[in-house]
Structure 1
Amino acid sequence: MVTHIVLFKLKDRSPESVERTAAVLRAMEGQIEQLKSIEVGLDVLHSERSYDIALITKHESMDDLQAYQVHPVHKKVSEHMSQVREAAVSVDFIS
C-alpha cells in the first residue's frame, strides 16, 4: 500500500473557502479506480505554521499512484488547487 499525503495552504483561508476546496477534493471519492481510500481533514489549530487542508489517499501500488496522478478527474482537481493554493507540501510512503 502507498500512502500519499498533501498539505495545502490556501490563498483565501476563510472557513467558507476552505470548506469549498475540501469539497472539491472529497469529490474524487468513487471517481478514480486506483484511489482505494481518501481522507480530507481541515486544520483546527489555525496557528501561524498550520496548513489549511490535509489530503490523505491510499493506493495499492506505485503504479496505481502514478495512474491516479494522471487520471482526468485528478488533473481537473489539480488545476483547481493550483488556482486556490498558496503553498503545498507532500510525502508519499509505503504503508
Structure 2
Amino acid sequence: MLTHIVFFKLKDGSAENVANTAQVLRDMEGKIEVLKSIEVGIDVLHSERSYHIALITKFDSMEALEQYQVHPVHKKVIEHMLQVREASVSVDFES
C-alpha cells in the first residue's frame, strides 16, 4: 500500500474558500478506480505554521499512484488547486 499526503495552503484562507476547496478534493471519491481511500481534513488550529487542508490518499502500488496523477478527474482538481493554492507539500510512503 502507498500513502500519498498533500498539505495545501490557500491564497484565500476564508472559511468558505477552504470548505469549497476541501469539497473539490472530496469529490474525487468513487470517481478514480485506483484511489483506494481518501480523507480530507481542514485545519482547526489556524496557527502561523498551519496549512489549510490535508489530503490523505491510499493506493495499492506506485503504478496506481501514477495512474491517479494522470486521471482526468484528478487533472481537473489540479487545475483548481493551481488557481487557489499558495503552497503545497507532499509525502509519499509505503504503508
The question of a shared fold, defined as TM-score above 0.5 by the shorter chain, is answered with yes
| CA distance in structure 1 between the aligned counterparts of 2:34 and 2:78, rounded to whole angstroms | 16
Q: Unpaired runs of 5+ in structure 1?
A: none
Give the TM-score taking structure 1 as reference length.
0.99
How does 1:11-22 map onto structure 2 within 5 Å?
11-22=11-22
Percent identity of equivalent pairs: 76
> Number of paired residues?
95
Deviation at 1:71, TM superposition (A): 0.2
TM-score (norm 2): 0.99
Calculate the aligned-residue CA RMSD, in Å. Answer: 0.3
Matched with 2:44 is: 44
Aligned-partner Cα distance in 1 for 2:45–2:69: 30
Partner of 2:76: 76
Give the whole-Å Cα distance in 1 for the aligned partners of 2:75 and 2:2. Answer: 19
Aligned 1:1-95 pairs, distance under 5 A: 1-95=1-95
Specify the code of the residue in structure 2 equivalent to 1:28: M
